[in-house]
Copies of this chain bind each other. A is one copy, B any other.
Amino acid sequence: MTYRVEFVERTGIQLLESGRGHARYRMPLAGNENHVGVMYMGAFTVLAEATAAIPGISILEPERFYPIIKDIAVAFHKMAATDVFAEFSLDEPALEGLLADLERKGSAGYLAEFPMVDADGVTVATGKVTVKLLSHGWTKA
C-alpha cells in the first residue's frame, strides 16, 4: 500500500526498514536546512508522521481501510546538524487489537511516541502522533 504525497517526496525522506507493524526512516539534512543550517522544524513533522503512520498502515487492506492523522506534536531538544532517524513499532497484540476494533466498530487508533535521533544517536526531538484507522463507508453489521 503506497501513498504518494509530493510534499513528502520533496523532503527526500527514505524508508530504511519496514515490515508488519514496523518502520524506520531517515530524514536527510540536505535540502531540509533552516536559516542556520540545521534541520528545519517541518522536516521533523514529516519524519514523525511517516514513522508513526506506516506501522498501522502496514496491516490495512486498502480497499477497506485508510489512515488519518488526528494530531501531531514535536518537541525540540537539540539542534540537528546531521540526518535524523526515527523508528516506531506496534507489537502483535497491539496490531491484533487494532484489527479487532476495525471489525467491531469501524475505527481504531493508537498513539505513537518516539525519539528522533541524530547520526550519533543523540535524541534531538520527540514525536507524539495520534493515528486513526478508519473504514470506507463502514456501517454496523
Interface: A10 (CB within 8 A): yes
Q: Which of A65-84 contact B (CB under 8 A)?
A: 66, 68-76
**Copies of this chain present:** 2
Give chain B nearest CB distance to A73 CB in angstroms: 4
A-B contact pairs, 10 of them (CB 8 A): A5-B33, A5-B35, A5-B40, A7-B34, A7-B43, A8-B40, A41-B49, A41-B69, A70-B76, A71-B75
Query: B72–A41 contact, CB under 8 A?
Result: yes
Interface: A46 (CB within 8 A): yes
Give chain B nearest CB distance to A57 CB in angstroms: 11
Interface: A6 (CB within 8 A): yes
Q: Give the top 5 A-B pairs by smallest Cβ distance, nearest first.
A: A73-B73, A3-B35, A71-B75, A45-B45, A7-B40
A71 with B74, Cβ < 8 A, contacts A35-B4, A35-B5 known: yes
Selected from B3, B33, B46, B71, the residue in CB contact (under 8 A) with A42 is B46
